[in-house]
Chains A and B, each alone.
Chain A
């Protein structure tokens, strides 16, 4: 069975939540006319990225009616959107919500907050502590959500693949580290290689949506793309500029890819867990547990 995914590569306005809701609603309408069943927006699409102390001003709860209104008019359409989430106990997380018909199906809170070099996320937002997948029913099946830097830690996409994901969705706000030189393009190529590899090793399609535009001195690079379960590129957005790209995935491709390359079926998770337990104990200089817990 075929299904269509739209990647809405856009430039949110920093701190202007209302204006961003309008921008997203407009792009959502355009994606629906393209026949998309899942529309993916970038990390922090509703708020912009370099928020610093604006975080509590732009934060919203996952059940905020403004979020519900997004896509509420199209009951069968899935929408993935990045925002600042305020939890019940007032943690502020860089989250991505998966919505359908205005209902929140799942929220993933960014696990790895880069706080080095040009990044300072850990100072202003709190890290999530769950790696999950959510079943959205046919044709897509189970979706594994993640946010930008989460993908630089292979445990995240691979655990989601082991957990049954039939589609990985990564939303990003990636600033180029050297946009004026070849070094910047090398860094972008690194991002793309990494996604190719996860698709191949996880035998799972990947939808990656990165933002564009400028904030302060940073330039966000875009390059959103949809990969099939064999790691091939289905559709790719340009670098640097806004775009709405739509691609089609075929569920039979996933099925046959996993028959021909049964990496997930062959995976030895208990072996991985034993060795991870041993490494955790060794790094803390503790005796290893006798039995896997």
Chain B
């Protein structure tokens, strides 16, 4: 389907990327006056990578990794999350979200089964992702920490995430790394190989995999996104270079359709000075430091 030479995967220098991101995390802490970080640890490669990066930046004792399984979450995921905690020696906590999620699922599902149909899968997945956000932001107050985001660039561009759920964070260390780049960065950091080698999954329902749900491989998606976004290629040029037209059109449409997930909501301007339009400041400045 693809010509690997004409439409390469995005390149990465893992050691250099790690240095840059560790510097970014330290700068975020310095600018905000926070000394601690909390994150949700699923057992997947994204959150494992962020955990390793944060531990390197601020030390494991100031990192709280929260495991938040739902009743249907796989035991293997949690075992992998524990592997990360053991490797880092960071703080950890287990908060099962089932008793918080099930009452809401009962409200939105019409039958006995909590997760019946495809249409409801998305709604139920969103409820779980948002419940995890609630737990993380609660712990961020208790632990006096910033919430580290674990979304990657592939997800952000495709809008493959839950607004105000897994996309909610104070900063995004891997938000400019494609999924296929993450594996080499994770390997550089020493993320356990069991985590690197398994198929990516949001683990919102049994048997779910990202590639199954998206209907495309990360390899094909990242080649396409790299051509369209980073290299600014037209659709036609992508196709001429060997990418499948249906894939390219699907990706381009999805990137455009999901723009709303990457921006703050527009504000109706009615005054002389409006946040986000002509009231523009760096996110952190002297007055915002604690």
Q: Evaluate contact between B11 and A14: CB separation under 8 angstroms.
A: no
Q: How far is the CA of A180 from the CA of B176 in the complex (A)?
A: 9
Cβ-based interface call for A183 (8 A): yes
Partner of B285, one of A54, A182, A183, A184: A54
Neighbouring A residues of B11 by C-beta, 8 Å = 181-183
A112-147: CB near B (< 8 Å → 1, else 0) gives 000000000000000000000000000000000000
Neighbouring B residues of A53 by C-beta, 8 Å = 279-281
Q: How far is the CA of A179 from the CA of B16 in the complex (A)?
A: 7
Q: Evaluate contact between A15 and B23: CB separation under 8 angstroms.
A: no
Q: How far is the CA of A53 from the CA of B17 in the complex (A)?
A: 30
Q: Evaluate contact between A14 and B20: CB separation under 8 angstroms.
A: no
Neighbouring A residues of B177 by C-beta, 8 Å = 180
CB distance from A180 to the nearest CB of B (A): 3
Q: Evaluate contact between B13 and A14: CB separation under 8 angstroms.
A: no
Neighbouring B residues of A16 by C-beta, 8 Å = 286
Q: Evaluate contact between A179 and B285: CB separation under 8 angstroms.
A: no
Q: Evaluate contact between A240 and B282: CB separation under 8 angstroms.
A: no
Cβ-based interface call for A235 (8 A): no
**A36-44, A157-165, A214-222, A276-284: which lies at the B interface?**
A214-222
Partner of A214, one of B12, B27, B283, B286: B27
Cβ-based interface call for B19 (8 A): yes
CB distance from B142 to the nearest CB of A (A): 27
Neighbouring A residues of B176 by C-beta, 8 Å = 180, 217
Q: Evaluate contact between B285 and A219: CB separation under 8 angstroms.
A: no
Neighbouring A residues of B281 by C-beta, 8 Å = 52-54
Q: What is the interface residue range for chain B against chain A?
A: 20 to 34
Q: How far is the CA of A215 from the CA of B24 in the complex (A)?
A: 8
Which chain A residues in 220-240 approach chain B with CB under 8 Å?
240
Q: Evaluate contact between B24 and A214: CB separation under 8 angstroms.
A: yes
Q: Evaluate contact between B280 and A213: CB separation under 8 angstroms.
A: no
CB distance from A241 to the nearest CB of B (A): 9
Q: Evaluate contact between B24 and A217: CB separation under 8 angstroms.
A: yes
Which chain A residues in 37-89 approach chain B with CB under 8 Å?
50-54
A168-212: CB near B (< 8 Å → 1, else 0) gives 000000001001111111000000000000000000000000000
Cβ-based interface call for B284 (8 A): yes
Q: How far is the CA of A14 from the CA of B282 in the complex (A)?
A: 9
Show 25 residue pairs from A and B whose CB-CB distance is below 8 angstroms, ordered by the A residue. Answer: A14-B31, A14-B284, A15-B282, A15-B285, A50-B282, A52-B280, A52-B281, A52-B282, A53-B279, A54-B282, A179-B16, A180-B20, A180-B21, A180-B177, A181-B11, A181-B13, A181-B16, A182-B11, A184-B16, A214-B24, A215-B27, A216-B282, A219-B24, A240-B19, A240-B20
Other 17 A-B pairs with CB < 8 A, given A53-B279, A180-B16, A216-B284: A14-B31, A14-B285, A15-B286, A54-B282, A179-B16, A179-B17, A180-B21, A181-B17, A183-B11, A185-B13, A213-B27, A215-B27, A215-B282, A216-B282, A219-B23, A219-B24, A240-B19
Neighbouring B residues of A219 by C-beta, 8 Å = 20, 23-24
Neighbouring A residues of B26 by C-beta, 8 Å = 214
Q: How far is the CA of A183 from the CA of B279 in the complex (A)?
A: 34
Q: What is the interface residue range for chain A against chain B?
A: 20 to 34
Q: How far is the CA of A183 from the CA of B11 in the complex (A)?
A: 8
Q: How far is the CA of A135 from the CA of B279 in the complex (A)?
A: 42
Neighbouring A residues of B286 by C-beta, 8 Å = 15-16
Q: How far is the CA of A184 from the CA of B280 in the complex (A)?
A: 28
Which chain B residues in 196-244 approach chain A with CB under 8 Å?
none
Q: How far is the CA of A219 from the CA of B24 in the complex (A)?
A: 7
Q: Evaluate contact between B280 and A179: CB separation under 8 angstroms.
A: no
* Given A52-B280, A53-B279, A54-B281; A180-B27 close (CB under 8 Å): no
Partner of B13, one of A15, A52, A180, A240: A180
Q: How far is the CA of A54 from the CA of B23 in the complex (A)?
A: 24
Q: How far is the CA of A240 from the CA of B15 in the complex (A)?
A: 13
Partner of B20, one of A54, A179, A182, A215: A179
Which chain A residues in 1-30 approach chain B with CB under 8 Å?
14-16
Which chain B residues in 270-290 approach chain A with CB under 8 Å?
279-286
Neighbouring A residues of B282 by C-beta, 8 Å = 14-15, 50-52, 54, 215-216
Q: Which residue of A lies closest to B285 (CB)?
A: A15
Q: How far is the CA of A184 from the CA of B15 in the complex (A)?
A: 13
CB distance from A174 to the nearest CB of B (A): 14
Q: Evaluate contact between B13 and A214: CB separation under 8 angstroms.
A: no
Neighbouring A residues of B31 by C-beta, 8 Å = 14
B86-97: CB near A (< 8 Å → 1, else 0) gives 000000000000
CB distance from A67 to the nearest CB of B (A): 20
Neighbouring B residues of A179 by C-beta, 8 Å = 16-17, 20
Q: How far is the CA of A215 from the CA of B23 in the complex (A)?
A: 10
Q: Which residue of B lies closest to A48 (CB)?
A: B282
Neighbouring A residues of B24 by C-beta, 8 Å = 214, 217, 219
Q: How far is the CA of A50 from the CA of B19 in the complex (A)?
A: 21
CB distance from B106 to the nearest CB of A (A): 41
CB distance from B286 to the nearest CB of A (A): 5
Q: How far is the CA of A217 from the CA of B177 in the complex (A)?
A: 13
